[in-house]
Amino acid sequence: MSSTSADAPSRPRVILGVGGGIAAYKACELLRRLTESGHSVRVVPTDGALKFVGAATFEALSGEPVTADPFDRVHEVPHVKLGQNADLVVVAPATANLIAKAAHGLADDLLTNTLLTAHCPVLLVPAMHTEMWEHPATQHNVALLRERGVNVMEPASGRLTGKDTGKGRLPDPAEIFEFARLLLARPDALPRSMAGVRVAISAGGTREPLDPVRFLGNRSSGKQGYALARVAAQRGADVTLVAAHTADLGEPAGVTVVRVGTALELRDAMHAAAETADIVVMAAAVADFRPVALATHKIKKSSADPDPVVLTKNPDVLAELVAARREGQVIVGFAAETGDETGDVLEHGRAKLKRKGCDWLVVNAVGDGKAFEVEDNAGWLLADDGRETPIPHGSKAQLAATVWDAVTA
């Protein structure tokens, strides 16, 4: 059954501001994600944005009227009402000009008026050339906005409009969507509370090769580790993410990514990152075993009796990191448990925390469609001093925010 206007007010109301940059076309994907996940979205572009993407595209995708002009339908007082009634304002892309106007309270179009009347959380997603991003004027404006509680995302690095690359790319729409969802659930989830904190995080699942085309792997998508990295980076931390095999999760904005394949590669990368890290998080699913022999050629079906696969143990990276821990370094482990005849999920988690010797353990129940390859998560956060905090069901970004709150408290 299609939704009716009668049920619209109960849906979270999002204003999607679109600035005049080439990344305006990516706002269409963000819009799609927001509407398809049940949000009511009103797009408010600038005149510049409408030179890149026509109003018809935004109207068709949102099902709402689109204008940059505060004098359109003036009897509805849109320059005040839109901001007042919103649950969240996201501006993507936020150009240097738009950021400057927002910082100084200018209101010469519908979007800048809306920014002045919004009481809800605001997420500005910058996209501009590196020089413009790094210019002291822009940096000053960003700092001013953050001081006022506006969430200004770190831009991503990579290919810019022309042939050049650098910092200033619009973060992946999926990542912006994740933060939008997070701020709707928890408006205070992205404080700049981790500035100067160095964090090393592992994510994804390692793959242990059998021959040039086959491997032993696991079902980890890396989503939880990526969410931890993204939230820490937005809180101002200096983040290194050691990523084993993951689903297609894009490049997390403001994060240094080190790609690895096997457990042994992950171990080396994590030891290197942990040398300077204040907080180390092992969210990766590390293979406990690897094949003893790696065939140099593809094992052929025609080989009548294939050799059995003989396995050997991989190192326990978390236990090694705990053993090598520097004074004051905080170490967080993850445990994916199913529960069995010897104990339930939480009992297994408590035993694992003791066995591993880390400071914190995030315990997830897995199996029956829980935790792996899904968007949401739930569990417990166990501290080595015996505190046990249930983590309510929510997005992986929400779980990440809960973990960072506790670990950095």
Which residues of the chain form contacts with ligand CTP (CB under 6 A)?
Answer: 263, 282, 284, 286, 288, 314, 316-318, 333-336
Measured from the CB of residue 197, what is the shortest distance to ligand CTP in angstroms?
Answer: 20
Q: Residue 286 Cβ, how far from ligand CTP at the closest point, in Å?
A: 4
Among the residues of 306-395, which ranges form H helices?
A: 317-323, 345-356
CA distance 354 to 350: 7
The verdict on whether 218 is a catalytic residue reads: yes
What DSSP element (H or E) covers 26? helix 26-36
Closest CA to 346 of 389, 304, 385: 389
What is the nearest approach in angstroms of ligand CTP to the Cβ of residue 333?
4
Using the minimum distance from each CB to ligand CTP, give the nearer residue, 200 or 286: 286
**Nearest-approach distance from CB 192 to ligand CTP, in angstroms:** 27
Distance separating alpha carbons of residues 93 and 168, to the nearest angstrom: 10
Number of Cβ atoms within 10 Å of the Cβ of 46: 25
Task: Kindly state the smallest distance separating residue 209's Cβ from ligand CTP, in Å.
Answer: 16
Q: Strand 238-243 and strand 255-259: pairing?
A: parallel
Whether the Cβ atoms of residue 404 and residue 235 lie closer than 8 Å to each other? yes
Q: What is the DSSP letter of 5?
A: G
By CB atoms closer than 10 A (0-12, 13-18, 19+), residue 183 is: buried
Residue whose CB is less far from ligand CTP, 286 or 401: 286
Residues 6+ apart with CB under 8 A from 334: 224, 281, 282, 283, 361, 362, 363, 364
Q: Which two tokens stand for residue 246?
A: 């993951």
In angstroms, rounded to a whole number, what is the distance separating the alpha carbons of residues 82 and 69? Answer: 13
Question: Among all chains, which residue has been given the structure tokens 């694992």?
Answer: 352
- Cα first-last separation, the chain: 46
Determine which one of 113, 151, 218, 364 is catalytic: 218
3-state secondary structure at position 375: coil
Which residue, 127 or 365, is less far from ligand CTP as judged by CB?
A: 365
Min dist. Cβ of residue 222 to ligand CTP (A): 12
SS3 at position 186: coil
Q: What single letter denotes the amino acid at residue 118?
A: A
Among 249, 161, 239, which Cα is nearest to 202's? 239
Q: For residue 374, how many other CB atoms are within 10 A of its CB?
A: 11
Q: Hunting for tokens 């096997």 — which residue is that?
A: 262
Q: How far is the CB of 349 from ligand CTP (least distance, A)?
A: 9
- Name the minimum Å distance from CB 247 to ligand CTP: 17
User: Pick from 284, 255, 296: which is nearest to 171 by CA?
Assistant: 255
DSSP letter at 368 equals T
Cβ neighbours of 139 (radius 10 Å): 11
Which residues belong to the active site? 218
